[in-house]
């Protein structure tokens, strides 16, 4: 079945054909072929639409027809607006000025039909738009992107690369950009080190090969959480049965980190500047977070997964991976339960050390605490959490045993959305990224606050 990559615009403005006069314009659209869970190829219309009206719209559905070269209708399509991972946003409101991806599955009347052009209509319910966030409330916070940013890499020259895409897929699937704070310019770039994920690398690691049957499944690469050590030449990834490995960039020298993880759902891998990492696991929002720490060479630094104290929050880590920063409720020296953030030894069974108490902890969709070691005697921990339904940024100075609230933040996270943080190598800037309906990338100038300097 041959398919052409097509975008059909209705009129010079590109306005979608409307049945209910929705001011939603198709920004882009094409027909691609996907293989479903049963191995059947399925044509799908994918693209982006933009709300050019003054109202918000919810319950949006995408309806379409596909035509052959003679203009005859040869099939129809039905779909929704979706997030970066392709999940339908059934109840999400599309705000004025917002651009959102959509997908619509095509049903052809005859299997061997060739699609030449397509037509799309949108239907939905008008509602009042949400109140815009007042950016003046946020001190020294600059928004860089409003896309679903899921990865950030700081460069030695002060620039940063950021990836837009689905957080559960590997970095080579992201759309990458470089941002220069000195000139406030953003430039599209190729995936950093993406050219090293070659066919030879994939074959040597057997990353796409089923452990028991030996079948090749390219989707295993997408779900592998493959990522490079930030200042090294080794990578970490999981197999189809969730066994965790590290490997050299050549694809050789594969080393097992942890086995018997098939019951656990890997949600992310966070690296430290010393090429150690935290791998964290949970099934759904609200569940306890289990984790392990290891290094790029494949050495497990923590206890095995089931022997580590679970965390309410995503765990952070010291640079050496020997201690993790967790959230939970644990007894203090007097036996009284305290809720807050704790240092916990990655290995052994010592009691967690209270860093500072809070009235309520965030869920596992908030960023891990970001650890920054200024020097051997100065350590800061940056925490993003909600307080009175407002996300805030705090800094805990470990040596001074003092916590300071730095600024409110523009994060608006639903339970199915995620956020992450990365401290710049010089400690001057904190990058905060989020996916979902209010996704984006923000930079916080940490030098403008009196605390943690």
Tens digits of residue pLDDT in 165-221: 999 999 999 999 999 999 999 999 999 999 999 999 999 999 999 999 999 999 999
Confidence of residue 37 (pLDDT cuts 50, 70, 90): low
The tens digit of pLDDT for each residue in 62-121 reads: 988 888 888 899 999 999 999 999 999 988 899 999 999 999 999 999 888 888 887 888
Spatial distance between the Cα atoms of 11 and 453, rounded to a whole number of angstroms: 57
* Phi then psi dihedrals of residue 194, to 5 deg: -65, -25
Structure letter (DSSP) for residue 15:
B
User: In the chain, what is the straight-line distance between the N-terminal and C-terminal CA atoms, in Å?
Assistant: 62
Q: Which of 5-19, 43-57, 145-159 has the highest mean pLDDT?
A: 145-159
Q: Find, among 237, 286, 227, 294, the residue nearest to 266 by Cα.
A: 237
Give the E-state strand segments of 298-358 in sequence order: 316-317, 323-331, 337-345, 353-357
The tens digit of pLDDT for each residue in 416-443 reads: 999 999 999 999 999 999 999 999 999 9
Spatial distance between the Cα atoms of 154 and 434, rounded to a whole number of angstroms: 17
The tens digit of pLDDT for each residue in 368-400 reads: 999 999 999 999 999 999 999 999 999 999 999
Spatial distance between the Cα atoms of 296 and 255, rounded to a whole number of angstroms: 9
Q: Write the DSSP assignment of 242-264 as a string of letters.
A: --EEEEETTS-S-EEEE---TTS
CB 200 within 8 A of CB 216: no
The tens digit of pLDDT for each residue in 257-274 reads: 999 999 999 999 999 999
Q: Which neighbouring-strand residues pair with 372?
A: 380
Q: What is the pTM of this model?
A: 0.91
CB 296 within 8 A of CB 277: yes
Q: Find, among 81, 143, 122, 192, the residue nearest to 437 by Cα.
A: 81
pLDDT at 117: 84
What are the CA-CA distances from residue 61 to residues 22, 127, 133, 217, 416 (Å)? Answer: 12, 15, 27, 32, 21
| β-strand pairing of 117-127 with 17-18 | parallel
Q: Find, among 261, 292, 253, the residue nearest to 276 by Cα.
A: 292
In this prediction, residues 399-422 reach a mean pLDDT of 96
In this prediction, residues 231-238 reach a mean pLDDT of 95
Residue written as token pair 């599309």: 94
Residue 10 scores a pLDDT above 50:
no
pLDDT at 7: 34
pLDDT at 133: 77
Tokens of 168: 């559960």
Spatial distance between the Cα atoms of 369 and 342, rounded to a whole number of angstroms: 11
Spatial distance between the Cα atoms of 99 and 85, rounded to a whole number of angstroms: 16
The tens digit of pLDDT for each residue in 303-345 reads: 999 999 999 999 999 999 999 999 999 988 788 999 999 999 9
What are the CA-CA distances from residue 41 to residues 35, 79, 106, 322 (Å)? Answer: 4, 17, 11, 48
């Amino acid at each position: 079945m041959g398919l052409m990559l097509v975008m059909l615009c209705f009129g010079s403005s590109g306005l979608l054909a409307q049945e209910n006069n929705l001011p939603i314009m198709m920004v882009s659209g094409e027909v691609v072929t996907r293989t479903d869970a049963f191995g059947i190829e399925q044509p799908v219309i994918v693209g982006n639409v933009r709300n050019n009206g003054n109202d918000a719209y919810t319950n949006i559905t995408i309806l379409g027809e596909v035509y052959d070269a003679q203009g005859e209708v040869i099939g129809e399509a039905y779909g929704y607006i979706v997030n970066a991972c392709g999940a339908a946003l059934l109840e999400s409101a599309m705000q004025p000025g917002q651009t959102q991806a959509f997908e619509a599955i095509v049903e052809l009347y005859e299997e061997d039909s060739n699609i030449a052009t397509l037509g799309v209509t949108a239907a939905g319910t008008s509602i009042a738009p949400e109140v815009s966030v007042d950016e003046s409330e946020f001190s020294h916070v600059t928004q860089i992107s409003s896309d679903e940013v899921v990865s950030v890499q700081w460069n030695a020259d002060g620039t940063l690369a950021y990836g837009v895409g689905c957080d559960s897929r590997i970095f080579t699937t992201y759309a990458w950009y470089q941002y220069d704070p000195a000139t406030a310019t953003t430039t599209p770039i190729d995936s950093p080190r993406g050219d090293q994920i070659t066919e030879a690398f994939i074959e040597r690691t057997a990353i796409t090969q089923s452990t028991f049957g030996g079948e090749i499944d390219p989707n295993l690469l997408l779900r592998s959480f493959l990522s490079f050590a930030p200042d090294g030449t080794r990578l970490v990834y999981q197999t189809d049965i969730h066994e965790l490995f590290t490997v050299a960039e050549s694809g050789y020298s594969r080393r097992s980190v942890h086995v018997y993880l098939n019951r656990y759902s890997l949600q992310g891998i966070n690296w430290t500047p010393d090429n150690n990492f935290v791998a964290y696991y949970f099934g759904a929002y609200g569940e306890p977070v289990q984790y392990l720490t290891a290094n790029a060479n494949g050495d497990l630094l923590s206890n095995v997964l089931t022997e580590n104290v679970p965390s309410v929050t995503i765990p952070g880590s010291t640079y050496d991976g020997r201690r993790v920063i967790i959230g939970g409720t644990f007894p203090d020296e007097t036996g009284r339960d305290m809720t807050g953030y704790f240092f916990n030894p990655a290995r052994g069974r010592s009691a967690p050390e209270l860093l500072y108490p809070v009235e309520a902890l965030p869920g596992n969709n908030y960023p891990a605490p970001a650890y920054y070691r200024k020097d051997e005697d100065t350590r800061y921990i940056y925490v993003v959490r909600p307080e009175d339904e407002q996300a805030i940024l705090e800094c805990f100075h470990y040596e001074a045993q003092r916590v300071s609230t730095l600024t409110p933040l523009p994060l608006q996270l639903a339970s199915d959305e995620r956020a992450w943080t990365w401290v710049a190598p010089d400690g001057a800037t904190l990058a905060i990224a989020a996916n979902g309906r209010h996704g984006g990338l923000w930079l916080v100038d940490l030098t403008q606050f009196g605390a943690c300097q």
